[in-house]
């Protein structure tokens, strides 16, 4: 319908509106088709570059959904095509930033991503929004590379209101990774002062403030946990699990211990070490001080059996246990939904 609405008076406007709406709803293939319609039918339109940007974003999203790097390569090829055709157009900056994101997130080429971000910051130096978005992305990439000094140096250049809270949070994380807890708190307090409790980073800020409260009661565990978080940021998940295991050996208090156990379980699941992940969840169930978190541990275990091990009978038992033992758990509704789905999918297996 939107394709039929297009005419010479609105060269791509209707399709662009539609594409953005369905992209926002995560219907990326349909959005990609709409963006492609603009690119093919209206090559002289003012909506051409927004269409290319949207199409590249959709290719990137599909690559993530399907774990297929070919879509990421299509996005990069599209970006290079636009860069060659419109080398000095201001909107190309957004596409260049997206290429940096793709290099970092899909091809894990951190050095290439940093190079792109810094080139964008230099080329579009007069555009504060682009420049500081590029600086922040470069700073985060330096953290991923393990270069905290350059990360801090770049992030300190970010002053634009729309980028500064996230940059300040990244600086707080750098201080945390280094064991400089007082400096980390200063950055976090600055964010709260400026943004209040409704800012975009507030949940992350409050979470890190909560972790820092363990400095007095569990300093050794906190230091090991900080090292693990830095390793996670660098995608060194196996090494991070080892640090978390060492942190647990320092006998941290229950509210900190549960965070460490669940982090280890999630990392081991990502590493496809499912028996080990289940073992960490079982440690929660065996620890009487962690009884408050038993429903979450059982739900995580059920998910591993359900989604990873295809042991639907065992998953069914665990979902049923949540309903039987934890009436007011936040996991009762999703557990009930999975029980219904398993019954429908495997009628001969389930009662």
CB 46 within 8 A of CB 81: no
Phi then psi for 273, rounded to 5 degrees?
-100, 70
From first to last of its 351 residues, the chain has per-residue pLDDT tens of 545 555 555 678 888 988 999 999 999 999 999 999 889 888 888 889 999 999 999 999 999 999 899 999 999 999 999 899 888 887 899 999 999 999 999 999 999 999 999 999 999 999 999 999 999 999 999 999 999 999 999 999 999 888 999 999 999 999 999 999 999 999 999 999 888 777 778 999 999 999 999 999 999 999 999 999 999 999 999 999 999 999 999 999 999 999 999 999 999 999 999 999 999 999 999 999 999 999 999 999 999 999 999 999 999 999 999 999 998 999 999 999 999 999 999 988 766
User: Residue 207, Cβ neighbours under 10 Å: how many?
Assistant: 11
Please enumerate in sequence order all residues whose Cβ is within 8 A of that of 286, keeping only pairs 6 or more positions apart, or say none.
none
Whether pTM > 0.75 for this model: the answer is yes
* CA angle (156, 202, 218) in 5-degree steps: 85
Residue matched to tokens 């003012």 = 46
- pLDDT of 8 reads 54
Quick one: which H or E segment has residue 34? helix 28-41
- Rounded Cα–Cα distance for residues 2 and 36 (Å): 13
The answer to whether 288 and 254 are in contact (CB under 8 A) is no
Residue 100: is it exposed, middle or buried by C-beta count within 10 angstroms (0-12/13-18/19+)? buried
- The angle that helices 128-145 and 92-105 make with each other, rounded to 10 degrees, is 10
Give the number of C-alpha atoms closer than 13 A to the C-alpha of residue 153, restricted to the C-beta side: 6
Establish how many alpha carbons lie within 13 A of residue 32's alpha carbon, considering only the half-sphere containing its beta carbon.
Answer: 16
Q: How far apart are CA 316 and CA 335, in angstroms?
A: 9
Query: What pLDDT sits at residue 199?
Result: 72
Tokens 């699941």 belong to 269
CA distance 260 to 251: 11
Residue pair 227/195 in contact (Cβ under 8 Å)? The answer is no
The CA distance from 255 to 260, in Å, is 9
> How long, in residues, is the chain?
351
The angle that helices 294-303 and 254-270 make with each other, rounded to 10 degrees, is 0
CA–CA separation, 153 and 183 (whole Å): 15
**Interatomic CA distance for residues 54 and 36, integer angstroms:** 9
Instruction: Give the C-alpha separation, 149 to 142, whole Å.
Output: 8
Give the Cα separation of 81 and 337 in Å (integer).
46
Task: Give me 154's structure tokens.
Answer: 């770049």
């Amino acid at each position: 319908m939107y394709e039929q609405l297009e005419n010479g008076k609105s060269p791509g406007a209707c399709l662009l509106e539609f594409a953005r709406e369905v992209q926002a709803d995560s219907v990326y293939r349909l959005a990609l088709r709409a963006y492609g319609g603009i690119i093919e039918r209206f090559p002289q339109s003012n909506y051409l570059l927004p269409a290319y940007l949207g199409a590249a974003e959709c290719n990137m999203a599909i690559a993530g959904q399907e774990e297929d790097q070919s879509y990421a390569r299509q996005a990069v090829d599209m970006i290079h095509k636009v860069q060659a055709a419109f080398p000095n157009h201001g909107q190309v900056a957004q596409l260049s930033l997206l290429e940096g994101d793709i290099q970092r997130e899909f091809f894990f080429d951190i050095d290439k991503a940093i190079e792109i971000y810094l080139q964008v910051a230099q080329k579009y130096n007069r555009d504060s929004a682009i420049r500081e978005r590029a600086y922040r992305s470069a700073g985060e990439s330096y953290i991923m590379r393990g270069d905290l000094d350059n990360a801090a140096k770049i992030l300190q250049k970010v002053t634009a209101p729309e980028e500064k809270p996230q940059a300040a949070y990244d600086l707080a994380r750098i201080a945390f990774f280094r064991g400089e807890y007082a400096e980390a708190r200063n950055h976090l307090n600055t964010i709260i002062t400026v943004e209040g409790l409704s800012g975009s980073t507030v949940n992350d800020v409050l979470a890190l403030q909560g972790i820092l409260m363990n400095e007095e009661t569990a300093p050794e565990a906190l230091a090991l946990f900080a090292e693990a978080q830095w390793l996670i940021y660098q995608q060194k998940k196996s090494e991070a699990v080892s640090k978390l295991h060492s942190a647990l050996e320092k006998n941290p208090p229950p509210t900190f211990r549960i965070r460490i156990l669940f982090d280890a379980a999630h990392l081991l699941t990502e590493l496809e070490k499912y028996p080990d992940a289940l073992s960490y969840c079982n440690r929660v169930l065996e620890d009487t001080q962690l009884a408050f978190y038993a429903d979450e541990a059982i739900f995580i275990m059920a998910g591993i059996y359900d989604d990873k091990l295809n042991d639907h009978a065992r998953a069914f038992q665990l979902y049923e246990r949540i309903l039987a033992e934890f009436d007011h758990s936040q996991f009762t509704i999703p557990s009930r939904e999975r029980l219904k789905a398993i019954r429908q999918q495997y009628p001969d297996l389930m009662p």
